[in-house]
């Protein structure tokens, strides 16, 4: 009785559409397996050997796959050659523009982070156009490195700490941005620098969404060590703002307008301190970096250096630091318990600064979650409250999303080749 | 760049599976259209006239469809006969067991509420087995009425105010139930009353989930008057407890363990009054029926009669009643703003007692939502905060879910016929 609403049949597919779909199917199979022979691919996708061979030939020609060594299958001839994802050619470009840094990374078809360039700066003090122009310069430098490695980014995805829709940042309270058409401005800045990049498609999303996808694709969620992969979790970034994202059943929850996940602006105390969003008493004012640093007696604007200092003070047993962290953990736990009661995830993942401060935040947060999650499924230290892995961040998630798009329709990106 | 993760191809389907699928497709098409000729069905589903005729013949034989009159299509012969959903035969049985009432309803294949039986009682004062036995007696009476109308419920779905999983109520704080195997106990009680009902499959779900589905299928969400249908909303029941459900993109969000939607236990004030769930300061303690009635100076246990009295006092301008409603509305709005920031729905629907008290709850709730929804998409009186429609409730949603299962696989339910 619990199946969902029956859906309509898919539209009819013509031969060319079927071949495009099957190209993707074969490419994704090799991607997921890491390495596979044509025979193995045929077995996994349920197509004939002849059909798979024809598809593989096209994927080799387009530079998506490479042949690699020989497997000793006991059978004669070519079929024993292993296929792998190409380490050159099509790649994804991810550009995270955050409050006090810009990170650019290039991810290859296998998902490996091949180029990473991080520059720290205060993006609150410059105009949006200047910040985007600077990000474009950093991206262009990363693309030079990529080019030397024979990687060719086919699209760029921007990650931004705010509400993103229709190619624009609708609102990014901590940057002070309102209605900034980021996709267009970044594409323009990149084209001005490198006219050859004119055709590079640019898209944008919220940084917490992309960090959560990186966690899903590359982090502890991916399973391993006999653990089942995590498919449903709430993800919190711990940057200057608190970003959030919901991944439910392996899918990012976007919401009706693309603005889901704004856990940083859930109210803690309706009469609390004013928040940059315009309301009062939001979680960010209790557990955001500035609030935490201020409560610990540190410079609230000291950013990553301040967080490192807070960590070392907590480690040394500094009472004020410990009290500030316990208090923030308690507020995090209260707001998270409401979120868990609402969406019933498998876990909550804390990223960014929260990740390093986890040992001192977690006990109080866990106690609140245990007391308030009504299903009774939360018990202290049951491993549901986790630090995010260090292998994924918003920039990698952004670049990897471009790669996923290539995997979903390789023919579309092969056609776009100009080099 | 925003498409979701590419999914694998569906498994291969044999001929019998395809026919079963197509039977459902034709039946759902007639259901959605209300009335259609074979030619219209063929056009809508993309199958040949001959194939549709064969499928329709089987659906007529199995009693799912009826032929109705003639349409004057200008063409000769049978094809102009209109097909409609049968008003007899397979039906759904919905049984809502709430804190102070039991509602049973029988819904036919067209979705019409054909039998409805409501009995008021205090289910907190009896043992779970006694309550389920009483609900079975009410269901048996409703099934007698259904039988007289030549309706044959093919399955029963229970709606309960608590956390439901694996056929049991895990916890229903307001009923005081813990780990009650409701599906088994209800089936047993029904079989004891009417041995002929032995084979009736019984399933169970949370009442807010089912009320939300009724709202999606039959309520204002269904569109009409040129308005697009609402596909994403938060639904709140206003019974003695506050139940909640999230419908996102037309799908009920169940969560990783089936416990999503528990908005009644989101914290308002961590130091607030003790809640039946074991925590402190949950929304239910500020905006639930008992809290509202107490704040208005009425007997907190007076239930529906108390709500009616509260409504009439508010209408008469009673200051204490108005203050209690404003206060509850403010707390509702604060918790809802957090939920809206998290899942970004199109609307919030208030059901049950909230529906009738809406005129006095809405202004304060709307003001909080406007101040706190960070996307800026909430403005006072923009119609996003709505009273649920009166045409759907949990019992109808439960019965309609059975009907949806029949529509999804009519062959399975035809085979089960014993009469």
pLDDT digits (tens, 9 = 90+) for A343-356: 999 999 999 899 99
* CB neighbour class for A39 (10 Å; exposed up to 12, middle 13-18, buried from 19): middle
Q: Which residues of B touch A343 (CB under 8 A)?
A: 246, 253, 255, 260, 342-343
Chain A nearest C-alpha distance from B125 (Å):
23
Q: Which residues of B touch A251 (CB under 8 A)?
A: 4-5
Q: Residues A90-210+394-415: name the CATH superfamily.
A: ATPase, nucleotide binding domain (3.30.420.40)
Please provide the size of chain B in residues.
Answer: 419
pLDDT digits (tens, 9 = 90+) for A32-64: 999 999 999 999 999 999 999 999 999 999 999
Q: What is the dihedral of CA B66, B67, B69, B71, to 10 degrees?
A: 130
Burial A383-392 (b: 16+ CB within 10 A, else e): ebbbbbbeeb
pLDDT digits (tens, 9 = 90+) for A246-261: 999 999 999 999 999 9
Contact yes or no for B256 and A407 at CB 8 A: no
Please enumerate in sequence order all residues whose Cβ is within 8 A of that of B17, keeping only pairs 6 or more positions apart, or say none. Answer: none
Contact yes or no for A255 and B248 at CB 8 A: yes
pLDDT given for residue A6 in this prediction = 42
Q: Which residues of A touch B376 (CB under 8 A)?
A: 170-171
Q: Which residues of A touch B342 (CB under 8 A)?
A: 244, 246, 260-263, 266, 339, 342-343
Closest by Cβ to A267, choosing from B5, B259, B334: B334
In CATH terms, are A90-210+394-415 and A226-387 the same topology?
yes
Class of CATH domain A15-85: mainly alpha
Closest by Cβ to B372, choosing from A157, A267, A339: A267
E strands in B190-332? 202-206, 233-236, 244-248, 251-252
Q: Searching chain B, which residue's CA lies closest to the CA of residue A164?
A: B375
Average pLDDT (A139-157) is: 94
Average pLDDT (A388-404) is: 91
pLDDT given for residue A389 in this prediction = 84
Chain B nearest C-alpha distance from A74 (Å):
30
Size of the A and B interface in Cβ pairs below 8 Å: 200
Q: Which residues of B touch A155 (CB under 8 A)?
A: 1
Number of alpha helices (DSSP H) and beta strands (DSSP E) in chain B: 13, 16
Contact yes or no for A246 and B408 at CB 8 A: no
Q: Residues A226-387: name the CATH superfamily.
A: ATPase, nucleotide binding domain (3.30.420.40)
Q: Which residues of A touch B203 (CB under 8 A)?
A: 1-2
Stretches in chain B below the pLDDT threshold 50:
1-9, 416-419
- Alpha-carbon distance of B387 to B389, in angstroms, equals 6
The percent of chain B in helix, strand and coil, each rounded to the nearest 5, is: 45, 20, 35
pLDDT digits (tens, 9 = 90+) for A222-234: 655 566 678 899 9
pLDDT given for residue B4 in this prediction = 39
Mean pLDDT of chain A: 89
Q: Which residues of B touch A168 (CB under 8 A)?
A: none
pLDDT given for residue B68 in this prediction = 79
pLDDT given for residue B379 in this prediction = 86
* pLDDT range class, residue A359, cuts 50, 70, 90: very high
pLDDT given for residue A78 in this prediction = 53
Query: Would the pLDDT of A152 be above 50?
Result: yes
Q: Residues B89-210+394-415: name the CATH superfamily.
A: ATPase, nucleotide binding domain (3.30.420.40)
Closest by Cβ to B375, choosing from A24, A257, A279: A257
**8 Å CB contact between A91 and A108:** yes
Burial A199-235 (b: 16+ CB within 10 A, else e): ebebbbbbbbbbbbbbbbbbbbbeeeeeeeebbbbbb
Contact yes or no for A9 and B345 at CB 8 A: no
Helix (H, G, I), strand (E, B) or coil at A248: strand
β-pairing, A347-350 vs A233-236, is: parallel
Contact yes or no for B337 and A255 at CB 8 A: no
Chain A nearest C-alpha distance from B64 (Å):
17
Query: Would the pLDDT of A292 be above 50?
Result: yes
Instruction: Of A318-327, A383-392, B27-36, B139-148, give the lowest mean pLDDT range.
Output: A383-392
pLDDT given for residue B78 in this prediction = 53
* pLDDT range class, residue A312, cuts 50, 70, 90: very high
For B223-387, CATH number out of 3.30.420.40, 3.40.50.920, 2.40.30.20, 3.40.50.300 equals 3.30.420.40
pLDDT given for residue A222 in this prediction = 60
* pLDDT range class, residue A75, cuts 50, 70, 90: low
The DSSP bridge partners found for residue A107 are: A92, A113
* pLDDT range class, residue A376, cuts 50, 70, 90: confident
pLDDT digits (tens, 9 = 90+) for A16-30: 889 999 999 999 999
Residue ranges of the domains in chain A? 15-85, 90-210+394-415, 226-387
pLDDT given for residue A246 in this prediction = 96
β-pairing, B89-97 vs B151-160, is: parallel
Helix (H, G, I), strand (E, B) or coil at B348: strand
pLDDT given for residue B2 in this prediction = 39
């Amino acid at each position: 009785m619990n199946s969902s609403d029956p859906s309509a049949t898919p539209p009819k597919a013509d031969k060319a559409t079927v071949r495009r779909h099957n190209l993707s199917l074969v490419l994704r199979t090799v991607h997921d397996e890491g390495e596979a022979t044509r025979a193995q691919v045929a077995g996994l996708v349920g197509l004939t050997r002849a059909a798979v061979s024809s598809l593989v030939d096209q994927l080799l020609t387009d530079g998506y796959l490479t042949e690699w060594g020989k497997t000793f299958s006991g059978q004669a001839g070519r079929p024993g050659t292993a296929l792998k994802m190409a380490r050159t050619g099509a790649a994804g470009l991810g550009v995270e523009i955050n409050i006090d840094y810009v990170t650019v990374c290039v991810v290859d078809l296998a998902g490996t982070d091949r180029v990473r360039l991080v520059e720290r700066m205060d993006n609150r003090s410059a105009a949006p156009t200047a910040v985007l122009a600077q990000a474009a310069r950093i991206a262009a430098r990363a693309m030079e490195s990529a080019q030397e490695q024979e990687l060719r980014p086919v699209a760029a995805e921007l990650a931004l700490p705010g509400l993103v829709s229709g190619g624009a940042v609708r609102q990014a309270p901590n940057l002070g941005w309102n209605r900034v058409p980021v996709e267009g401005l970044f594409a323009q800045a990149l084209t001005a620098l490198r006219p050859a990049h004119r055709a590079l498609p640019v898209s944008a999303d919220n940084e917490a969404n992309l960090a959560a996808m990186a966690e899903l694709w590359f982090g502890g969620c991916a399973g391993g060590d006999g653990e089942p992969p995590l498919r449903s979790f709430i993800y919190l970034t711990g940057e200057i703002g608190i970003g959030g994202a919901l991944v439910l059943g392996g899918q990012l929850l976007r919401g009706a307008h693309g603005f889901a996940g704004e856990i940083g602006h859930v109210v803690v105390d309706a009469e609390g301190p004013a928040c940059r969003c315009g309301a009062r008493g939001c979680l960010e004012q209790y557990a955001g970096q500035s609030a935490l640093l201020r409560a610990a007696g540190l410079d609230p604007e000291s950013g990553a250096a301040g967080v490192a200092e807070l960590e070392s003070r907590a480690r040394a047993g500094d009472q004020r630091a410990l009290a500030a962290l316990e208090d923030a953990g308690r507020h995090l736990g209260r707001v998270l318990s409401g979120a868990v009661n609402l969406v019933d995830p498998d876990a909550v993942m804390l990223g960014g600064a929260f990740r390093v401060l986890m040992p001192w935040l977690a006990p109080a947060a866990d106690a609140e979650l245990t007391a308030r999650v009504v299903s009774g499924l939360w018990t202290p230290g049951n491993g549901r409250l986790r630090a995010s892995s260090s292998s994924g961040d918003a920039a990698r998630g952004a670049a990897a999303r471009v790669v996923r798009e290539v995997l979903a329709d390789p023919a579309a990106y092969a056609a776009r080749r100009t080099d």
